[in-house]
């Protein structure tokens, strides 16, 4: 009798648990999905659940393993991964490639949650990955803990159909002004991938440092890798480490775009090899924060073969289709030298089988078809790029630069583009901020973070979070389906998740955390 009573009490606790789960349509998912329809009941993950891959391939198996590893620490469940079409199992999660839903495109997914099964279906592995990231957000925030937690692991039933507005949703880290370790870089990639950002632009060279091993030109790292802003020990990535970052990102549906900033922002190169200077004298290493004082010697043929060697080695390690050539703030390169230089860079990159991306100044050159202009500073450059047939990546500094201070009290970061509070970084519309740049001219959005004043990953987190989450939604969700007043309520609910993850986010007063 006592056992029966205990059982009844336990059952009532577990049903009330299930009943307290919000409806699926009320879940605070970011970025906001295209459509969410609530169903009846809920799904409970248990130690008997399996991750089933009826359309097994190597990429899908990596996504299955990713999901298992994300669910394991908090739940303690070591979910088996089964290459099986068995649909009779109970409380399993199915990852299915179906190639049947053209509306979902390359990155969309359908996530169907029933009382006894979850199915994520997509045309491509990228879509399955995005569905997995949505699924993580449906569990309680405790799911993100690195240690075992007590929870019901119940999520509400229903159907989510989702796909992105823009195919390019980027974030950039400047590892040149301050160097960041491989594990820091991976950490940032992992956090960004939670919000379905899919491009990691890594700013590998600048006046203050050179960060990537080039076998043919070892002084670039032996000399140029030694410095950073403020002095201190810096560093660089070996080719093996760079490849490791690229594959870590690839598992998370993130394409790496390397940037070698040319022909300005090149003091670290000019210090490493005297012959890159017109006077054949190596520059001194630079640890300050001025910009616009350096240039490669554009009149020497040897400069071009050097650059070709460098770009070739980096391209060979980079499966993504883009190479970023910088091109910004080349104030000491004469325009009559800058234009032919950028033209030749586009030829070199095309020969390597990649498309060029450059900061908006490259619009002054003769843009090749399939070169892309990244708008950061001058709207007229970006418009010129569009007039020359290029698509634009929108990174307007006043809305998207995560190194801008939140307000006058922020103790690091810069403010040359103004203060950038959480609302401002969300509440902009890529297709309406520059007259002459319309929806069809835009490839996507990117949130850069420059590190003149930021030297630790904790401080990167503080500047990036929560603003990067908002920019991820700007890229994913069409402007007609989102408002700040509704978004800020969902963002508030991300606070617990960020806390459990240990992210040092800025607790903005604009959000009711």
List of residues contacting ligand ACM (CB under 6 A): 328-329, 359, 376
Q: What are phi and psi of 103, to 5 degrees?
A: -60, -30
Q: Which is nearer to ligand ACM, 192 or 400 (CB)?
A: 400
Q: Which is nearer to ligand ACM, 75 or 228 (CB)?
A: 228
Annotated catalytic, 329? yes
In the set 59, 219, 308, 329, the catalytic residue is: 329
35: enclosing H helix or E strand: strand 35-44
Q: Which is nearer to ligand ACM, 210 or 359 (CB)?
A: 359
Name the residue with the smallest CB distance to ligand ACM.
Answer: 328
Count of beta carbons in the 10 Å neighbourhood of residue 376: 22
User: Closest distance between ligand ACM and the C-beta of residue 176, in Å?
Assistant: 12
User: Closest distance between ligand ACM and the C-beta of residue 359, in Å?
Assistant: 4
User: Closest distance between ligand ACM and the C-beta of residue 344, in Å?
Assistant: 21
DSSP-derived 3-state class of residue 311 = helix
Strands 391-394 and 442-449: parallel
Q: Which is nearer to ligand ACM, 208 or 494 (CB)?
A: 208
**DSSP string for residues in 164-189:** -S-SEEEEEEETTTS---HHHHHHHH
Whole-Å CA distances, 71 to 132, 214, 446, 483, 511: 11, 39, 29, 31, 28
Going along 327-377, which residue ranges are E strands?
355-359, 372-375
Q: Which residues contact 145 (CB under 8 A, 6 or more apart)?
A: 73, 74, 500
Q: Which is nearer to ligand ACM, 44 or 201 (CB)?
A: 201
203, 175 in Cβ contact below 8 A? yes
From the list 289, 269, 152, 164, the residue with the least C-alpha distance to 218 is: 269
**DSSP string for residues in 368-426:** PTT-EEEESS-HHHHHHHHHTT-EEEE--HHHH-TTB-SSTT-SSSB-TT----HHHHH
Number of H-type helices and E-type strands within the chain: 15, 17
Find the farthest-apart pair of alpha carbons in the chain and give their distance in angstroms, rounded.
95
User: Closest distance between ligand ACM and the C-beta of residue 187, in Å?
Assistant: 24
Q: Which residues contact 205 (CB under 8 A, 6 or more apart)?
A: 176, 211, 212, 224, 259, 260, 261, 265, 266, 268, 269
82: enclosing H helix or E strand: strand 81-82
List, by residue number, the catalytic residues: 329
């Amino acid at each position: 009798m006592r056992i029966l009573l205990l059982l009844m009490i336990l059952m009532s606790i577990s049903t009330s648990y299930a009943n307290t789960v919000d409806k699926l349509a009320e879940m605070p998912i970011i970025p906001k999905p295209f459509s969410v329809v609530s169903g009846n009941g809920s799904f409970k993950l248990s130690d008997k659940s399996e991750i089933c891959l009826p359309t097994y391939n190597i990429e899908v198996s990596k996504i299955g393993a990713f999901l298992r590893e994300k669910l394991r620490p908090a739940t303690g469940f070591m979910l088996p991964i089964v290459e099986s079409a068995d649909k009779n199992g109970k409380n399993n999660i199915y990852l299915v490639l179906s190639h049947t839903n053209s509306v979902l495109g390359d990155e969309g997914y359908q996530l169907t949650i029933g009382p006894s099964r979850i199915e994520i279906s997509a045309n491509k592995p990228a879509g399955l990955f995005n569905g997995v990231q949505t699924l993580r957000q449906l569990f309680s925030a405790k799911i993100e803990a690195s240690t075992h937690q007590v929870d019901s692991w119940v999520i509400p039933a229903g159907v989510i159909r989702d796909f992105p507005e823009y195919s390019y949703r980027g974030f950039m880290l400047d590892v040149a002004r301050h160097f960041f370790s491989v594990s820091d870089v991976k950490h940032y990639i992992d956090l960004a991938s939670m919000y379905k950002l899919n491009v990691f632009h890594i700013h590998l060279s600048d006046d203050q440092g050179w960060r990537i091993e080039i076998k043919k030109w070892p002084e670039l790292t032996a000399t140029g890798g030694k410095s950073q802003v403020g002095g201190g020990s810096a560093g660089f990535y070996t080719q093996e480490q760079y490849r490791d970052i690229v594959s870590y990102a690839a598992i998370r549906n993130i394409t790496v775009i390397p940037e070698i900033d040319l022909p300005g922002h090149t003091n670290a190169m000019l210090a490493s090899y005297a012959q890159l200077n017109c006077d054949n004298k190596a520059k001194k290493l630079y640890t300050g924060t001025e910009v616009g004082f350096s240039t490669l010697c554009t009149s020497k043929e040897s400069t071009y073969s050097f650059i070709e060697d460098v770009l070739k080695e980096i391209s060979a390690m980079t499966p993504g289709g883009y190479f970023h050539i910088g091109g910004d703030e080349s104030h000491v390169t004469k325009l009559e030298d800058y234009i032919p230089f950028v033209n030749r860079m586009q030829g070199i990159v095309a020969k390597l089988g990649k498309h060029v991306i450059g900061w908006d100044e490259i619009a002054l050159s003769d843009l090749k078809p399939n070169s892309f202009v990244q708008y950061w500073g001058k709207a007229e450059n970006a418009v010129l790029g569009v007039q020359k047939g290029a698509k634009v990546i929108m990174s307007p500094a006043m809305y998207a630069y995560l190194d801008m201070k939140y307000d006058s009290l922020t103790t690091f970061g810069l403010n040359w583009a103004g203060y950038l509070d959480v609302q401002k970084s969300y509440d902009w519309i890529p297709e309406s901020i520059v007259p002459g740049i319309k929806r069809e001219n835009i490839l996507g959005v990117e949130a850069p973070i420059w590190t003149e004043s930021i030297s630790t990953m904790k401080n990167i987190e503080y500047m990036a979070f929560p603003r990067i989450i908002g920019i991820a939604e700007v890229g994913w969700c069409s402007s007609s389906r989102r408002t700040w007043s509704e978004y800020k309520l969902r963002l508030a609910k991300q606070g617990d998740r960020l806390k459990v993850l240990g992210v040092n986010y800025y607790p903005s007063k604009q959000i009711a955390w």
